[in-house]
């Protein structure tokens, strides 16, 4: 609809993100944007970029530099990213060639319209007998969404929340005809 297209355009202008989507479900639309990759599989290469740690951008280069220094100096933010990456590496280990899981970028700064994030970059090689959907499912649910340890966190949510969350922090993306997958949170 024109209304949905206008909303999507406003989101793209206000906060351009690598993962943007508009899904039409009858009379209901779901519009979203996210900087965070959930999982990407190209051939046998599995890639994820866990995000933890955020600092607001001000537009003033000196204040932004101070915000980045503060972000990189935060033990709390470093610990949170380490936990997310450790969970991610463990998820990959179930469907990857042994020894292929590697952190190839640590605490990288990514800049977006209004914020900076610290991001790790993790890769591995898909083991024989597995495909991109196995990789996608092995990472369910994102630790940044559900908490850790994942099974205990999911059970606690199930025990505590009496109603469904509805549209809440999922993954959106695409599967290519060759089996590659690219999804964002």
Q: Where are the beta strands (DSSP E) in 51-175?
A: 51-56, 102-111, 115-125, 172-175
Is the link from the previous residue into 149 a cis peptide, with omega within 30 of 0?
yes
- Give the range among 2-16, 64-78, 84-98, 150-164 with minimum mean pLDDT: 2-16
At residue 2 the predicted structure's pLDDT band, cuts being 50, 70 and 90, is very low
Q: How far is CA 165 from CA 7, 132, 149, in A?
A: 23, 27, 20
140 pLDDT band (50/70/90 cuts)? confident
State the average pLDDT over residues 177-184: 95
CB 135 within 8 A of CB 41: yes
């Amino acid at each position: 609809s024109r209304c949905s297209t206008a909303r999507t355009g406003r989101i793209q202008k206000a906060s351009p993100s690598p993962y943007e989507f508009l899904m039409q479900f009858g009379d209901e639309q779901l519009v979203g944007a996210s900087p965070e990759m959930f999982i990407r599989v190209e051939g046998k290469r599995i890639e994820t970029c866990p995000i933890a740690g955020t600092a607001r951008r001000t537009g003033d280069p000196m204040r932004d530099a101070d915000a980045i220094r503060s972000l990189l100096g935060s033990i709390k933010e470093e610990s949170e990213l380490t936990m997310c990456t450790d969970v991610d590496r463990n998820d990959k280990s179930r469907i990857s060639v042994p020894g292929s899981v590697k952190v190839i970028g640590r605490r990288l700064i990514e800049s977006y319209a209004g914020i900076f994030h610290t991001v790790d970059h993790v890769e591995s090689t898909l083991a024989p007998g597995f495909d991109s959907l196995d990789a996608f499912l092995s990472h369910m649910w994102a630790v940044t969404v559900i908490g850790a340890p994942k099974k205990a966190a999911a059970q606690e949510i199930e025990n505590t929340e009496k109603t469904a969350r509805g549209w809440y922090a999922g993954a959106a993306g695409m599967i290519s005809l060759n089996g590659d997958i690219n999804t964002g949170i």
